[in-house]
Amino acid sequence: MIAVQGLSKSFGDKTVLDRIDLSVAPGESLCVIGQSGMGKSVLLKCILGMVAPDAGQILWQDRPLDGARRAEFMQQFGMLFQGGALFDSLSVWQNVAFRLRQQMPDQQARRIAIDKLARVGLAAETADLMPAQLSGGMAKRVALARAIAADPRVIFFDEPTTGLDPIRARRINDLIRGIVRSTGATAITITHDMESVRSIGDRVALLQQGRIAWQGPVSRMDAAPELAEFLGHAPQ
């Protein structure tokens, strides 16, 4: 379980996160939505230890995520970066196996990479291509394969459908849903895309003015007045 307790962060006199409480149960998929600039990335960076909060703490399995526990946590998480963020100078399989190669011989890492590429619908021949040779949808799949390469127990998806047309976005959402369900991983997704929320999420949290303005099961979001603006319709 991952929990955020009383998390606050300001930059200068701008309060971005204001005593945020949020938790994700093991195997649960939480989507965090919010307008641009509302602090979704800052929240993610605080969870990942890339930004130090002014107050509050992150708990993992009911204990503060600090020191040695953070190192252990980092071994068990995977991340799909916004925009994919593939390393241009590395081939597809080297991108997918980036972390694995620090732990095992290349031959074994390559085999796992090809297996993960198959999991996201890419043929083995893709393994030796360079990122510049990939279409946007393929690059996203490669980034997804990299996120799951080490069989993480916790996966973060940062804007997974950004830059994709609706058909490709739907395919990525379907893939993510399949991966999250079949691996039983805990998932936290940051997104603007309500189709992603419907497809991937069990629960959704709306970040607004530094606070969680609404959170609840995806099945109840259509009735939430707080979400009407995102859903593009009046509450049903």
Ligand X SMILES: Nc1ncnc2c1ncn2[C@@H]1O[C@H](COP(=O)(O)OP(=O)(O)OP(=O)(O)O)[C@@H](O)[C@H]1O
Shortest Cβ 100–ligand X spacing (Å)? 29
Residue 151 Cα distances to 1, 85, 100, 180, angstroms? 17, 19, 10, 11
**Residues 40, 44, 50, 52, Cα dihedral to 10°:** 70
Q: List the interface residues with ligand X, window 11-40 (CB under 6 A).
A: 11, 16, 34, 36-40
Shortest Cβ 153–ligand X spacing (Å)? 24
Which residue, 41 or 173, is less far from ligand X as judged by CB? 41
Which residue, 16 or 145, is less far from ligand X as judged by CB? 16
Shortest Cβ 42–ligand X spacing (Å)? 4
Compute the distance between CA of residue 46 and CA of residue 86 in angstroms, rounded to an integer: 23
Residue with tokens 């490669």: 142
Compute the distance between CA of residue 155 and CA of residue 188 in angstroms, rounded to an integer: 6
Compute the distance between CA of residue 19 and CA of residue 23 in angstroms, rounded to an integer: 13
Residue 46 Cα to chain centre, angstroms: 14
Which residue, 13 or 62, is less far from ligand X as judged by CB? 13
Question: What are the φ/ψ torsions at residue 51 (nearest 5 degrees)?
Answer: -130, 130
Which residue, 93 or 230, is less far from ligand X as judged by CB? 230
Compute the distance between CA of residue 61 and CA of residue 125 in angstroms, rounded to an integer: 40
Shortest Cβ 192–ligand X spacing (Å)? 6
Tell me the number of residues near ligand X by CB under 6 A: 10
Shortest Cβ 122–ligand X spacing (Å)? 27
Which residue, 42 or 187, is less far from ligand X as judged by CB? 42
HSE of 215 in the Cβ direction (CA atoms, 13 Å)? 17
Which residue, 145 or 169, is less far from ligand X as judged by CB? 169
53 binds ligand X (CB under 6 A): no
Question: What are the φ/ψ torsions at residue 215 (nearest 5 degrees)?
Answer: -150, 145
- The only residue of 29, 30, 33, 41 in contact with ligand X, by rule CB under 6 A: 41
- The only residue of 4, 22, 42, 79 in contact with ligand X, by rule CB under 6 A: 42
Residues that bind ligand X (CB under 6 A): 11, 16, 34, 36-42
